[in-house]
Amino acid sequence: MVKKAQENYTYILQCADGSFYTGWTNNLQRRLKAHNEGKASKYTRSRRPVKILYYESFETKQEAMRREFAIKQLSRREKERLIDCFTEAEQIEKIEIGKAKKKGQIKAEETKQKEQIKGRRDKVKLSRKNK
């Protein structure tokens, strides 16, 4: 049996007081929920609600933990730059996904139009045969 590779994440949260919290997890959504329920960290417990501003994924727990340590060594300004770059990249990705979806919708509409035209042609052929 092949074991499925588990994703590990390093993330930065923004707390209600504006401070940042950096951590790592193997389930980003569950960890965010735990932070907001006050069950994940003593630091974030009194600074709720929190939201994810940045994350990276890694194949191993060790890589995620190393990155967490490296981010914790950054100044606030450096963390803000990291978050800004991530946000810009995320926005670009959303735009690209939107374009791809739009292309898919356009393709679907073109296919539908072609099918309608073909259906009309078939009706015309049938009506000509029946005359």
Other C-beta atoms within 10 Å of 75: how many? Answer: 8
Does 98 lie in the same domain as 44? Answer: no
Long-range contacts of 87-90 (CB under 8 A, 24+ apart): 87/53
82-91: pLDDT as tens digits: 999 888 877 7
**End residue of a domain, out of 73, 88, 120:** 73
Does 64 lie in the same domain as 17? Answer: yes
Token pair, residue 73, equals: 């060594």
Does 3 lie in the same domain as 64? Answer: yes
Give the domain range for residue 110.
Answer: 75-131
Three state DSSP letters for 97-129 = HHHHHHHHHHHHHHHHHHHHHHHHHHHHHHHHH
The number of domains in the chain is 2
Does 61 lie in the same domain as 26? Answer: yes
Q: How confident is the model at residue 5 (pLDDT cuts 50, 70, 90)?
A: low
Partnered with residue 57 across adjacent β-strands are 9
**Over 70: is that where the pLDDT of 16 sits?**
yes
Does 58 lie in the same domain as 35? Answer: yes
**End residue of a domain, out of 33, 51, 73:** 73
Does 81 lie in the same domain as 53? Answer: no
Lowest mean pLDDT across 36-45, 50-59, 75-84, 105-114: 105-114
The chain-wide mean pLDDT, for the chain, equals 84
CA torsion angle 89 94 96 101 (round to 10): 170
**End residue of a domain, out of 36, 51, 73:** 73
